[in-house]
Structure 1
Amino acid sequence: MYHLPHVREWVQAEKITINEWLRYPYFPYNFNLLYVAGMAVGSELNANMLHALAGWLIAIFIFRLVEKKFGILPAVLATAIWVSVSQWLFQTSYIDLGAALFIFASSISLMIWIREEDKKVQSPWLGVAAFFMGLAAGTKYQAFTYLPFFMVTVLWYERRIVVWMKIVLVFLLPCIFWYLRNGLLTGNPVNPLAGGVFGYFDWNQGDYDYQLFDLKNARNWPPKVLWAGLLLLFFPAAWRDKAVRWLMLLSIYAVLVWLVTSHYDRYLLPQYPVLAVLAALALYYAGSFVLSSKWKNAVYSIWHESHRMAAPLLAVTALGFMVHAWPITYRTFAAVPVTVQERHVYIYQRAMGFGLLLKLKLDFPGEKVYQVGLEGGIFYGPKPVYGDHFGPWRYRDFIYLPMQELHRKLMQYDFDILALSKAKVEEMETSPDFWKYFEKVAEDNGDTAYRLWRDDKNEYSE
């Protein structure tokens, strides 16, 4: 929608550019810089692989974190939970897994620092936590929702001014560029957020209202398996551990903030790794409790001391996940495109308006295009392609106008082509005046492109 188009422009310009025809031209884009490296030596598939790599790195971190403290069985379970609740993002080129990686790495580092007995000793872990949180803040604004909890945590153990100055500097190092750039160019360091405080630039109040409306309609809950972590409250042996207790408090804080702010599951994704760890530990302790209750001390001893049951239980758990995941895995690998033709078919089935946008790119070079409802596929179309829900080219300023006014406004901005999604075609072609101002020039799967009439046929004087 906008991540890859921004990256493509940077690669071609060989510098970071402001692309005002795309959504969020002023935004922190740390993780997108990795996409630049990938696309500079290949295609957008490299960006996709880098995003998936972030997810697999989280899986490795989860496994090592849990295995070191609690053993291999809960480690495998925590890793499996994480992959199962996030696997749909592995095939995208968003930045969510990157933000989750940085926030989780910061959480682990801060947890390790908390467990150190002597905080007076210079430890690198606090600096590592600050640096990863800075990377997260330079990737997505949502990272700032975690800052208050992290700051209170550090303040609880460390109050020396010199130390605080160092960690603030380390935090700012990987993210300050984006906020200084935004502040200098727009007057708002967190553009497009906080327009009511810093003033509006490319967004207006209507854009904020529409986004809140969109979030309200998208309200949902995270996967049910993550809620298993609540069971830890009934197992004191778990939360007596300082690190586990801190992870529980962090999760409670993150979920409460999420409930108040968005209630949209993707915005809670940075906390999914910790929630997966807590859910796995809860299931592990619950399983131990059930076994110890049913078979008394014999099985309890085997479970907790000799671990003789670990191998068969691990095998059964792995077999269960394999049986559940095999159909999905098979379909995923079977759908991987190998040839250029297969890749086009693959994208055609998944990218919004791919067929029509590709036609416009190949058959109408140099034409200025305004699209409605095809924003998800503009990476594959001509560039630039204008039109979005937010910003200066918002749909609301165009498509609700009478046909004559719409044509006049498009002409005013020198547009040549109006491209509509199938749903919007059915709505706009029913207008009796539509064909007085637009001529159909391309169509694909219901998505249609129209050329603006530029002769006497569209004179506005009646």
Structure 2
Amino acid sequence: MNKLEFLLGQYGALALVVAACWGWGEALLRLLKIDRDPAMRLGAPLAITLGLGISICVLQGLAIAGQLTAFYVGLLIAVGMLLGAWHVLAHKPLLRWPAWRPGWQEMPRSDRWGLAALAAVLLSTLTAPLPPPTQWDELMYHLPHAQQWAVSGRLTVNEWLRYPWFPYDFDLLYAGALLFGNDVLPHLLHALAGWLTAWLIYRLGVQHLDRLTACVAASLWVLLAADEFIRAYVDMGVALFVLVAGASYQAWRSTDDRRWLLPCAFALGLAVGSKYQALTLLPLFAVGLIWRDRRPTTWLLVVGALLVPCIYWYGRNALLTGDPFNPMGGRIFGFTDWNASDHHWQFEDLRRARGWPAWPLWPALVVPFIPALRRSMAVRRALIMGGYMTLTWAASVPYPRYLLSAYPVLVLLSAASSMYLIRLASTAIPALRQRVVVKVAATLLLIYLTLMATAEIVRYWKRISPTPEARAALLTQRVPGYPLWAHLKTHPVGRIYQLGSEDSLYYAPQPIWGEVFGPWRYSDYASLPPAQLHRKLTQEHFDALAIHSERFPGVASQPEFERYFERVWTEGAVKLYKLKPPVAP
């Protein structure tokens, strides 16, 4: 019952956020007087996404002004909910089930199977976001930065953490959640981006392809992005904003209504304000705009909408470090906290992890050779966008997770070609035309997806931690050094330098120094003999040294190490040593 109450409470909090975002986003759509056509309306998922973007901009403004507090965030949610209530009461026809959509009974059997399969796939993500944070990057920098903004109420540059100069639009949502002491809600906010993306993929698939293909595409997205539903990263947020930008661009080209360029540019600005990789999309959209509309007023509107969510990060970096893309532009603009070696090893690390796109995406390559698909203008634009994103990814850093922002377009193309080929095969092979064969195959697939969803629900249900005791037990098991960090929050030992525990810093007392890159890089400390290490740490005013003994086994095992360092905590893999007073020569 505790876990069920926890689940309902967390989803209740998410429902408040969704309702507020829908209120803000619908207000923007009504102000622009777009997305009104019932046959092409993207509706709620588009409104909620734009509402998320508006919330990010408001949170950014509050944090810049030093007013990021629970009161103002609560006010932001309350106003959004009031706007939503007003839309419901004043525009009830918007909420009616559109007459052009067939009911369940009138749908073809294949569409019903597709919807049932999609429901099973979505159900598999139900409990995935609910365990406490345990994933590497969220503990290393996403949540620690958000935590510092929530504690200070302002946008601080936290130089002891990795990537202090990155653009962090989506992470501002996490800071808002942490103001209320809820670090599971960031998981749900990232998962929300994934669910909204699936919803938009389905809507776009129905509009431009057919319902069954839309179900296949949305299911592929959820399955391929399954690991992202358990994390407070930004990748699904970037994918959502990129998809909204592409869908808005398509709506502009099909209606010739330039008001659609505002949500297009705004969503693109949110993507660029959340991850540097999204910058590669700017040339593609710029060429598309130049090709169609070169009016100065159009460009002013587009550039303004693009810059609102992201100009702060790039302007701040340019003013304070001279590199608007710090640290990635260091070779061009000069290095500040990083050096050339850090830059080299960062990209070398990504290259070592490079890989091919997921195999379910490969059928997208067949789309150009299918005349029935190639005749669709929307499909041709999707091909250009998906191809461009894949090529820029392959030419820069072919790290599989960095392609995630292209997945929504690629799964639509892949599903379109796969369904076309399956239907073609069914007409050519008599056995595939038999209803019993199709029914058995569909039933087996649905059973498999249902079993998979059940297994995933149970898997993450076991990790839900509704009580402090359950949470501590799980984190002790899954986060190296958690018991030490929990102890130090109540028994501080002064300024700490750590070696090898960057994947648990969210739970450590802040600030805590020590990183792979930057001015406190491990390589400048770990190789020193005990006497020199002690002298360096003393000169930098450190009081204690925490060492992940499995990742840096040779540091504490050196001769005379205990002459300079006193053991304080030896449980688990992370050990703590206090610096002894300087030893006389």
How does the TM-score come out when normalised to structure 1? 0.91
Q: Corresponding residue for 1:238?
A: 373
Residue of 476, 491, 505 corresponding to 1:348: 476
Match of 1:109 in 2: 248
Alpha-carbon shift at residue 314 of structure 1 (Å): 6.4
1:112-142 per-position Cα deviation (integer Å, ceiling 9, x unaligned): 22333xx3xx432222111100111111111
User: How far apart are the structure 2 equivalents of 1:101 and 1:437?
Assistant: 52
Unmatched 5+ stretches in structure 1: 303-308
Q: Which amino acid aligns with 2:221?
A: W
Shift of 1:311: 9.3
- Give 2:529's aligned amino acid: P
> What SS does the corresponding residue of 1:17 show, helix, strand or coil?
coil
- Alpha-carbon distance in structure 1 between the residues aligned to 2:243 and 2:164: 27
Name the residue aligned to 1:402. 529
Instruction: Give the Å deviation of 1:399.
Output: 1.1
Give the CA deviation at 1:33: 1.4
Return the letter of the residue paired with 1:22. L
Taking only the aligned residue pairs, the percentage that are identical comes to: 38
Tell me, in whole angstroms, the C-alpha distance in 1 between the residues paired with 2:535 and 2:466: 46
Match of 2:574 in 1: 447
SS at match of 1:64: helix
Q: Compute the displacement of 1:443 (Å).
A: 2.4
Partner residue, 2:563 = 436
2:347 to 212, 215, 234: 212
- Give 1:305's aligned residue: none
Q: Which one-letter code corresponds to 1:243 in the other structure?
A: A
- Paired residue for 1:198? 333
Cα distance in 2 between the residues matched to 1:222 and 1:104: 18
Which residue matches 1:38? 177
Cα deviation, residue 223, structure 1:
2.0
Spell out the pairing of 1:267-286 with structure 2 (5 A cutoff): 267-286=402-421
How big is each residue's C-alpha offset from its partner over 1:249-276, in whole Å with a ceiling of 9 and x where there is no partner? 2111111111121110111111111112
Distance 1:444 1:85, change over 3 A: farther
Q: Corresponding residue for 1:61?
A: 200
Distance 1:79 1:310 in 2: 21
The 3-state SS of whatever aligns with 1:449 is strand
* Structure-1 residue corresponding to 2:11: none
Q: Deviations over 1:67-94 (max 9, x none)?
A: 2332221122111111111111111111
Matches within 5 A, 1:47-446: 47-116=186-255, 119=256, 122-295=257-430, 317-363=445-491, 365-446=492-573
Question: TM-score, normalised to structure 2's length?
Answer: 0.72
SS at 2:567's partner residue? strand
SS at match of 1:29: coil
How many pairs are equivalent? 446
Q: Give SS of 1:174's match.
A: coil
Q: Which amino acid aligns with 1:345?
A: A
The structural deviation recorded for 1:173 is 1.4
Instruction: Give 2:530's aligned amino acid.
Output: M
Q: Secondary structure in 1 aligned to 2:581?
A: coil
Letter in 2 for 1:371: Q
Per-residue deviation at 1:366? 4.9
CA RMSD of superposed structures (Å): 2.3
**Corresponding residue for 2:70?**
none
Per-residue Cα deviation, 1:222-251 (whole angstroms, up to 9, x for no partner) = 321122222323322112211111111211
Which contiguous aligned blocks of 4+ residues in structure 1 show a shift greater than 4 angstroms? 309-317
1:452, 1:328 → 2: CA distance? Answer: 46
Tell me, yes or no, if the aligned pair for 1:353 and 1:376 is still in contact at 8 Å.
no
Q: Would the aligned equivalents of 1:422 and 1:447 in 2 still touch at CA under 8 Å?
A: yes
Cα offset, 1:102, TM superposition: 1.0
Q: In the alignment, is the contact (CA less than 8 A) between 1:425 and 1:447 conserved in 2?
A: no
**Does the 8 Å CA contact 2:480/2:573 hold for their aligned counterparts?**
no
In 2, Cα distance between equivalents of 1:315 and 1:436: 70
1:179/1:190 contact within 8 Å kept: yes
Using the alignment, how far apart are the partners of 1:342 and 1:446 within structure 2? 21
Structure 1 residue 108: Cα displacement = 1.4
1:4 corresponds to which residue?
143
Would the aligned equivalents of 2:499 and 2:552 in 1 still touch at CA under 8 Å? no
Contact 1:73–1:310 at 8 Å: present in 2 too?
no
Distance in 1 separating the partners of 2:369 and 2:447: 29
Task: Work out the CA distance in 2 between the residues paired with 1:153 and 1:126.
Answer: 11
315 and 162 in structure 1: CA distance in 2 versus 1, 3 angstrom threshold: farther
Which residues of structure 2 form unaligned runs of 5+? 1-139
Letter in 1 for 2:471: R
Task: Quote how far apart the aligned CAs of 1:351 are.
Answer: 2.7
Which residue identity does 1:341 align to in structure 2? E
SS at match of 1:44: coil
